[in-house]
Amino acid sequence: MTRYRLLVLDIDGTVTNSQKEVTERTRKAILQLEEKGVRVAIASGRHPRGVLPIARTLNFHQSGNFILAYNGAKIINVRQNTCVFERTLPSYLPVRLWQDAKKYGLGILTYTEDELIAGTKPDSYMALELRISHIPIAYHEDFGRFVNFPVNGCLFTGLPEDIEAIEPVLSHRYFHETQIFRSEPCFLEVVPKNVDKAYSLKHLLEILGIGREEMVCCGDSFNDISMLRYAGLGVAMANAREQVKDVANYITERDNDHDGVAEVIERFF
């Protein structure tokens, strides 16, 4: 039986429940795992500021574990507060994406260290991202000129049916420059080419000296598919989308509201 040395967790719908909280049972199971010397990482589409509260809850600031933000475009060592890996979009791309958002009636935003930068009037989906990321939102009508600095990614927001319809259009248009995928039905992520959770985990494994066959990855949504395929053991939560379950090696019996991650730890570690 494989001895697993790294547990990678998505946040929303995986390690947190429907109230966006880590339950006490799941928290204790993860802390006990860290005490045994098993490494734990969080891989999320969130801004780093939206990941850090969860990381602190799980003692990353002492254990020296890592977060993968922006779907893997940035890896941070939490204890050292240092970036160990980063990719950014081509400098000309945000203005083009902004023009697409206006053309197709979608919202668009990008990120700085301290703000969400909206290029369209903030909508209810951006408000959700604001609550998740714990940072303020600033609307800039001149988004195309304002965003003249490197960004790790952009986010389109809109009705799920509109996001689903535009995904193949933009994926084809920007095939050579980006990875485009839905992280939630109302969110369409745009990150640098070849960047996804699996791509950045390859770099993290090199840093840690751990083989991919020794890694367990847990997730529930579209942007988790790549890491579940890449992992030694890919785990879909009971509440995961069917496309995610289709690629998983194991599907939890309990969902994120009933400590599905604790089930994984008890069964495989």
Angstrom distances, CA of residue 27 to CA of 6, 32, 59, 235: 16, 9, 9, 18
Q: Cα separation of 123 and 212, whole Å? A: 40
Which residues, listed in sequence order, are joined to residue 6 by a DSSP beta bridge? 39, 215
Q: Which two tokens stand for residue 11?
A: 């946040």
Instruction: Identify the pLDDT of residue 2.
Output: 81
Specify the higher pLDDT residue, 204 or 114. Answer: 204
Question: In 3-state terms, what secondary structure has residue 182?
Answer: strand
Instruction: Identify the pLDDT of residue 132.
Output: 77
Q: Cα separation of 71 and 191, whole Å? A: 8
The full set of domains in the chain, from first to last, is 6-87+195-268 (3.40.50.1000), 93-192 (3.30.1240.10)
Average confidence (pLDDT) over 10-36:
96
Instruction: Identify the pLDDT of residue 17.
Output: 97
The predicted-structure confidence for 165-213, as pLDDT tens digits, reads as follows 999 999 999 999 999 988 889 999 999 998 999 999 999 999 999 999 9
Instruction: Identify the pLDDT of residue 239.
Output: 98
Instruction: Identify the pLDDT of residue 97.
Output: 98
Q: Cα separation of 189 and 178, whole Å? A: 10
Q: Which amino acid is at 245?
A: K
The predicted-structure confidence for 48-103, as pLDDT tens digits, reads as follows 998 999 999 999 999 999 999 999 999 999 999 999 999 999 999 999 999 999 99
Task: Look at the block and give the residue holding tokens 């485009």.
Answer: 180
Average confidence (pLDDT) over 219-247:
97
Average confidence (pLDDT) over 104-122:
95
Angstrom distances, CA of residue 168 to CA of 105, 163, 164, 247, 269: 16, 10, 8, 21, 39
Phi, psi (degrees; rounded to nearest 5) at 157 = -125, 150
Least confident interval from 103-107, 112-116, 157-161? 112-116
Task: Look at the block and give the residue holding tokens 């240092």.
Answer: 82
Q: How confident is the model at residue 16 (pLDDT cuts 50, 70, 90)?
A: very high
The predicted-structure confidence for 129-173, as pLDDT tens digits, reads as follows 888 777 899 999 999 999 999 999 999 999 999 999 999 999 999
What does pTM read for this prediction? 0.89
Please check whether residue 28 is in contact with residue 235, taking contact to mean a CB–CB distance below 8 angstroms.
no
Q: Cα separation of 51 and 39, whole Å? A: 17
